[in-house]
Structure 1
């Protein structure tokens, strides 16, 4: 029979299973950033489960100090905009998952689990309600759920919605801090900052965000606010939705544009379809893309030649800048471009060939990304 002590090493595994079930069965949790759902909440669940096991092993109730962290986490969920029913539902649902996974004395653990939930849940609810009173909670939750409904194409009450929106998707820059809470705190600061922008709706998906900016508003200025909060530029893409019904399609297009910009290693900034129109067209599968990609296929075994060509194209065909970017001598770059010509038959220093090689480079990168 599995003892309580033997369950401690499994606390992380059981907590991860708890959160996976909660995310699957409680829709509100799927609106949280991945850094919260897969990071903070799993860590919190692990700590709470370990506290439960400790109280069972020591045959006692949790102390006030031990309950302080679960209570504080309840307040955090209020700041995340989750409804109270979702915050409380997670406890019995997680307990059910733990019950399914436990192979020890269920009679003992079951009775103690009910006592433990009776101690924790009322205190969490109290902290949540206290925190909600200090927030513009109803407005924030409503705006986040409204954004999620529009993106999913679900019918909504029109209220004060704009006739059309620019859908902006953005990816947060890689965190400079290794702290697990860095991304979570950044999401909250961004949301609080954008709450002051008239008509702008914001929600988060994975480790990125989605903004619905009323058409006619300064989309670039809104994206710049996100950059300022992050302290450096974010990779972002925007697409216009002429009507509310067009929002899901515009969201899909913006996601495609952002993925294309990142896949082609473009510098982080706000992109529109017009900025990557040629690349976007080349990204569509077909014989033309494969033919262009095939131009550079003979260079696959010579990555230094592909790097030289990419640097030359990216620098605007400036040999000096390309050589500096590669940290090589200009003559070395010239030699490598000559090798590219010898192998492919195209001369990167001739305008007509250069355009063809630039298109081939895009098709080659896209084919490798999809391959």
Structure 2
């Protein structure tokens, strides 16, 4: 007697036994709702088993149309949240149950050979459909998070249970990439950053203008998240953060962070995460007004000698350390000393004297920010 023909009327019974076996041996299936486990999965397993037995009885391969449903069900399991391992493991377990049912009927070897061929056709296609659906779901979730971040930044309503009460708004610019990287290099880096931060609970990522914006829940250290961005980029980024105590404060916090980031870049500060408190004095000096103009005017006589302004800026940025400043400028320490002497001769301020050094530091801030806004 042909085992396939004998088993066809019992397809529903065997399918139920298949699913019960899978639920007993695969933890992920026990977590599914009973309506899915006892309803959809049994119905799906019945249909696949009937397809297999029919093709065996008719001595043919399944058609593309016939395989469409099993493949689509593989995609559904992705939406159910089942891991791919569990989705694929059900097939050999189900085949084992079918084999046990066929064994008493007659010689099951031919049926087993056809079963292996059937699994060889179905399982790779199911895996492909699952992975494609998983990728689409990940994309949808990423897009949803990006749109959510954009809504909060624009002060549009964003009702989501998982939103944090308070956020640090972190803005950053990518480090300059080598010219050989190609036109899509920045896009690829932003994608890598978004992918890396997708695993950070509550962190929202979007791109605004020429930089990235992160909304980091206040319970998560913003510095640690910024460090993850650095690791993805392979070097440190200049970044700035501002706290938003409510969702309505997010646009203002973003504006503050953008301004602090621009100030840090204008002052050529080392690449790291800054807050307003880190640059409070410089922030005040950067405000337009008579005081800033007076400070910036101190360096006006040096405009024909940009290497002197660079030397002063490096000396201030290094914390008045001649060795570090000379290294940063790629010049000898004695050359730096000579240039500082020239600055004193032209401006009347000695960068090596504490009082004059503080004044010159203020002039550098005023000069750089005034020229940025010119």
Provide the TM-score with structure 1 as the length reference. 0.62
Distance 1:350 1:156, change over 3 A: same
| DSSP 3-state at the match of 2:299 | helix
1:264 aligns with 2:267: yes
Aligned partner of 1:346 in structure 2 is 349
Cα deviation digits, residues 159-183 of structure 1 (max 9, x gap): 2211110000111122234322322
Aligned partner of 1:144 in structure 2 is 146
| DSSP 3-state at the match of 1:138 | helix
Matches within 5 A, 1:293-308: 293-308=296-311
Aligned partner of 2:175 in structure 1 is 173
Aligned partner of 2:245 in structure 1 is 242
| DSSP 3-state at the match of 1:335 | helix
Counterpart Cα distance in 1 of 2:166 and 2:258: 18
Alpha-carbon shift at residue 237 of structure 1 (Å): 0.7
1:330 aligns with 2:333: yes
Distance 1:325 1:141, change over 3 A: closer
Alpha-carbon shift at residue 325 of structure 1 (Å): 3.1
Distance 1:363 1:132, change over 3 A: farther
CA RMSD, 1 decimal: 2.1
Distance 1:365 1:129, change over 3 A: farther
User: Which stretch of structure 1 is more off in the superposition, 212-221 or 311-320?
Assistant: 311-320
Q: Return 5+ residue gaps in structure 1 as ranges.
A: 1-127
Distance 1:323 1:201, change over 3 A: closer
Counterpart Cα distance in 1 of 2:331 and 2:177: 31
Counterpart Cα distance in 2 of 1:163 and 1:288: 40
User: Which stretch of structure 1 is more off in the superposition, 129-138 or 318-327?
Assistant: 129-138
Counterpart Cα distance in 2 of 1:185 and 1:327: 33
Counterpart Cα distance in 1 of 2:172 and 2:323: 33
Q: Return 5+ residue gaps in structure 2 as ranges.
A: 1-128
Higher RCO structure, 1 or 2 (CA under 8 Å, sep 6+): 1
Alpha-carbon shift at residue 130 of structure 1 (Å): 8.8
Counterpart Cα distance in 2 of 1:250 and 1:187: 22
Counterpart Cα distance in 2 of 1:129 and 1:299: 66
| DSSP 3-state at the match of 1:210 | strand
Counterpart Cα distance in 2 of 1:305 and 1:331: 14
| DSSP 3-state at the match of 1:358 | helix
Counterpart Cα distance in 2 of 1:178 and 1:321: 30
Counterpart Cα distance in 2 of 1:327 and 1:200: 40
Equivalent residue pairs, number: 245
Matches within 5 A, 1:1-371: 131-134=132-135, 135-176=137-178, 177-371=180-374
Distance 1:129 1:289, change over 3 A: farther
